């Protein structure tokens, strides 16, 4: 980032539709979007660079903040044999970057009834038998833009350690980078999702207080006070609000 202030405002993210304007007095780099060269600001994210170059994204943008996984992107860098993976919304461009977005990830996903499966290893064997083909090559982990320990959670699934799968896959965005790189053709993110649902439904202790509160509501415990509040004049309600105690 620039260290002096104030520099001229850059249309890096294109935050305002009308303010974006190509400028020449900023440091620029060349990126190859699907093979075609474009000059873009050096500080741009991949998504910013694609839009700066004039593309209207249809597939390949969602939340734009690193939560939805819609913008999976693969790229290579000059003089480097490696394939890199990243989210377009949070990865910065580099000079000479050759990039392509993945509009959708083909992935297997069986239909199942959460009420009719059990929280154990047999469920993985039945729904995702390919999990057991994992060769522990760690390519999935290297491909994860969230830096999750993907291979470790697949190994945990093989052992039937559902809590571990839940914990390690918790921040997964389902971008699909792991699945597209996996030599064993596993769809890791769907395995993680299944494990989280199994854990949430079957392996957490029940909250007694929650059960009690639901019962109270059903037995109309709060009806009277609701009616009172709903009928109350604005002035009185205001008074009550500003006088309420705070935990």
Partner 1 sequence: MYPEYMNESLEKVAKSRNKRFELEKSGEPVFPPMNAEEREQVLNKFHPDYKAEARRKIHIGQNKGEKLTTEVADMLESHSRIKPELFDLTQPEYETDILIIGGGGAGCAAAIIGMENGAKSIISTKLRLGDSNSMMSQGGMQAAVTSQDSPTTHYLDAIGGGHFDNKPDLVRALTEDGPEVVKWLENLGVVWDKNEDGSLQVLHGGGTSRKRMHSCRDYTGAIIMRTLMDVVRNHPDKITFLEFMPTVELILDNKGRCAGGILYNLETEEYFTVKAKATIITTGGYGRLHIRGYDTTNHYGATGDGLVIAYRAGAKLLYMDSVQYHPTGSVFPEQIAGFLITEKIRGAGGQPLNKHGELFVFPREPRDVESSAFIRECLERNNGVETPSGRLGVWLDSPLIEMLQGEGYINKNFPAMHRQFIRYGIDITKEPMLVYPSLHYQNGGIEINERCETNIPGLYVAGETSGGVHGRNRLMGNSVLDYNVFGRRAGKYAAKYVKSVKLGPLTLEHISNYENELKKAKIKTDRIAPVLLPSYTPEDVRKRQLTAHYQGTLR
- Asked if 79 is part of the footprint of partner 1 (rule: CB under 8 A), the reply reads no
C-alpha distances (whole Å) from 117 to each of 189, 221, 232 are 19, 36, 50
Candidates 56-64, 72-80, 130-138, 179-187; binding stretch for partner 1 (CB under 8 A): 56-64
- Asked if 155 is part of the footprint of partner 1 (rule: CB under 8 A), the reply reads no
- Residue from 27, 109, 118, 135 that binds partner 1 (CB under 8 A)? 109
- Touching partner 1, residues 204-233 (CB under 8 A): 204-211, 213-214, 217, 222, 225-226, 229-230
- Residue from 27, 37, 67, 136 that binds partner 1 (CB under 8 A)? 67
What tokens were used for 64? Answer: 């734009």
Nearest to 175 by CA among 71, 100, 88: 71
Q: Which segments within 92-203 are labelled E, that is strand?
A: 98-101
- Asked if 193 is part of the footprint of partner 1 (rule: CB under 8 A), the reply reads yes
Question: Which residue's CB is nearer to partner 1, number 36 or number 205?
Answer: 205
Question: Which residue's CB is nearer to partner 1, number 137 or number 217?
Answer: 217
Phi, psi of 31 (to 5 degrees): -125, 155
- Residue from 29, 33, 52, 177 that binds partner 1 (CB under 8 A)? 52
- Asked if 17 is part of the footprint of partner 1 (rule: CB under 8 A), the reply reads yes
Nearest to 49 by CA among 93, 104, 8: 93
- Residue from 126, 133, 159, 201 that binds partner 1 (CB under 8 A)? 201
Q: Count other Cβ atoms within 10 Å, centred on residue 86.
A: 21
- Residue from 31, 70, 88, 178 that binds partner 1 (CB under 8 A)? 70
SS3 174: coil
Q: Are 30 and 77 in contact (CB under 8 A)?
A: no
Q: What is the spatial distance between Cα 219 and Cα 28, in angstroms, rounded to a whole number? A: 66
Q: Are 153 and 189 in contact (CB under 8 A)?
A: no
- Asked if 68 is part of the footprint of partner 1 (rule: CB under 8 A), the reply reads yes
- Asked if 33 is part of the footprint of partner 1 (rule: CB under 8 A), the reply reads no
- Asked if 19 is part of the footprint of partner 1 (rule: CB under 8 A), the reply reads yes
Closest contact distance (angstroms) between CB of 211 and partner 1 is: 8
């Amino acid at each position: 980032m620039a260290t002096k202030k104030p520099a001229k405002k850059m249309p890096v993210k294109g935050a305002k539709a009308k303010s974006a304007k190509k400028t020449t007095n900023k440091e620029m780099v060349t990126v190859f979007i699907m093979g075609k060269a474009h000059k873009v600001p050096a500080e741009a994210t991949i998504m910013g660079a694609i839009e700066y170059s004039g593309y209207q994204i249809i597939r390949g943008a969602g939340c734009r903040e690193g939560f939805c996984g819609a913008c999976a992107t693969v790229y290579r860098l000059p003089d480097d044999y490696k394939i890199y993976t990243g989210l377009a919304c949070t990865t910065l461009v580099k000079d000479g970057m050759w990039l392509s977005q993945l509009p959708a990830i083909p992935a297997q996903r069986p239909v199942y009834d959460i009420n009719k499966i059990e929280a154990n290893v047999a469920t993985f064997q039945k729904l995702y038998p390919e999990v057991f083909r994992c060769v522990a090559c760690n390519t999935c982990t290297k491909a994860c833009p969230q830096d999750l320990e993907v291979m470790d959670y697949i190994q945990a699934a093989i052992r039937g350690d559902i809590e571990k799968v839940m914990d390690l896959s918790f921040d997964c965005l389902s971008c699909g980078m792991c699945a597209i790189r996996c030599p064993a053709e596993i769809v890791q993110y769907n395995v993680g999702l299944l494990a989280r649902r199994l854990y949430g439904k079957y392996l957490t202790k029940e909250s007694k207080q929650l059960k009690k509160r639901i019962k109270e509501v059903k037995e109309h415990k709060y009806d009277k006070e609701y009616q009172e509040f709903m009928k109350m004049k604005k002035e009185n309600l205001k008074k009550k609000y500003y006088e309420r105690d705070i935990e």
